[in-house]
Amino acid sequence: MAVYLVTGAAGFIGANYLHLLADWEPDAQIVAVDYIGFAGNEANLDPVRDRIAFEKADIADFDAMAAIYRRYGPDYVVNFAAESHNDRAIVSPGAFMRSNAMGAQVMAECSRLMPVTAHVHVSTIEVYGELAQGAQWFHEGSPLNAKTPYSAAKAAGDQMVRAYMQTYPELSIRMTHCANNYGPYQMPEKLIPMAVTNLLRGRKVPIYGDGSQSRDWLHVADHCAAIHRVLHTHLDPIPAAAATDPALLPIFDVSGRCEVTNMEVARRVIAELELDPGEWIEHIPDRPNHDRRYLIDPRKIESTLGWRPEHDFESSIGEVVRWYRDNRGWWEKVLAEKGELGFDWTDAGVVER
């Protein structure tokens, strides 16, 4: 019986992975770890509560994580745990550095000292920074050029994982970078769930600046399937040439090949609720240092691992909107516990709204 250790399990992507993993691996033992920070929501685990062992722990706490490794002896580790909101990172960057950088190192070290079959470190497109004008996309060999506190903390964790890949070749550790995810169980501080939950409360959709910021959109179920594929694929040893070519490291960029602007996303959500976009969009001051555009090329994972996305943004956005409409109790409880999740960047100070 395989033992899976999944961190950040009560977050958006981690919880979706657990829900799918319980179906994919009905005989597996699943250990879900989360410290239930701001983005954690233990209610996300309810659909699989009878299938998991839940451990409340901080991945940056080596002693706590080592104890969990010793207790369960995991075969497979997937590290989703991260603080992941750019706005909140501007307000409190320290918490992001702890989880995203130190936490990544602690997890890699535990998997090195208490060997596992495979370990996947889940990262983000944002570590590459902003796509240059005229550039087509980023890829696994692109330099890390993070420019926000959130993405810089993730890039720091990436650098440590890359170091582990090459320093400890006996450690089977892999990494993914994902495009912007969308789907159920996402915190209403992110664009799509914020738009839906605002509209269902009779509020307008807040759009930063002119709304022309462009993103690469990926359904969370497709992302989870990609991670599972990376986790279970046999990979050849890292070649010596990877020392100067990071594209040769076991890193896989995951994208749905779907570029949509923030304004167009808002318009589609509003249309799904049969409202008039002209009446329900509110332009608000842009956040500091906001990336304008980023895309990644998924050719490596497509060609070497045979992964392809199954969800089309045009059709699945409606399903996602309906999920938030039909699960009002879930997000109302989140808002009651967390408060309003938007930010007001009107002046030099930061004011939560």
> What is the tens place of the pLDDT at every residue in 6-23?
999 999 999 999 999 999
Q: Predicted confidence band at 86 (pLDDT cuts at 50, 70, 90)?
A: low
Q: What is the pLDDT of residue 345?
A: 54
Residues of the domain holding 97: 3-185+219-260+290-316
> What is the tens place of the pLDDT at every residue in 98-113?
889 999 999 999 999 9
Which residues are CB-neighbours of 217 under 8 A, at least 6 positions away? 179, 180, 182, 256, 258, 259, 260, 265, 313
Q: How many CB atoms lie within 10 A of CB 159?
A: 15
Q: What is the pLDDT of residue 293?
A: 83
Q: Predicted confidence band at 133 (pLDDT cuts at 50, 70, 90)?
A: confident
Residue 179: CATH number of its domain = 3.40.50.720
> What is the tens place of the pLDDT at every residue in 288-330?
767 788 899 999 999 999 999 999 999 999 999 999 999 999 9
Question: What's the pTM?
Answer: 0.95
Mean pLDDT score, 142-146 = 95
**What rounded mean pLDDT belongs to the chain?**
93
Q: Give domain status of residue 165, yes or no.
A: yes
Least confident of 153-157, 201-205, 211-215, 303-307: 211-215
Query: What whole-number percentage of the chain has pLDDT above 70?
Result: 95
Q: Give domain status of residue 273, yes or no.
A: no
Parallel, antiparallel, or unpaired for β 259-261 and 180-182?
unpaired
Which residues are CB-neighbours of 278 under 8 A, at least 6 positions away? none
Q: Predicted confidence band at 157 (pLDDT cuts at 50, 70, 90)?
A: very high
Distance between CA atoms of 164 and 238, rounded to whole angstroms? Answer: 12
Say if residue 347's pLDDT is above 60: no
Q: Give domain status of residue 205, yes or no.
A: no
Distance between CA atoms of 300 and 255, rounded to whole angstroms? Answer: 11
- Total number of domains constituting the chain: 1
Q: Give domain status of residue 62, yes or no.
A: yes
Parallel, antiparallel, or unpaired for β 180-182 and 205-208?
unpaired
Q: Give domain status of residue 142, yes or no.
A: yes
Q: Give domain status of residue 190, yes or no.
A: no
Q: Give domain status of residue 167, yes or no.
A: yes
Q: Give domain status of residue 277, yes or no.
A: no
Which of the pair, 33 or 131, is modelled with greater confidence? 33
Q: Predicted confidence band at 259 (pLDDT cuts at 50, 70, 90)?
A: very high
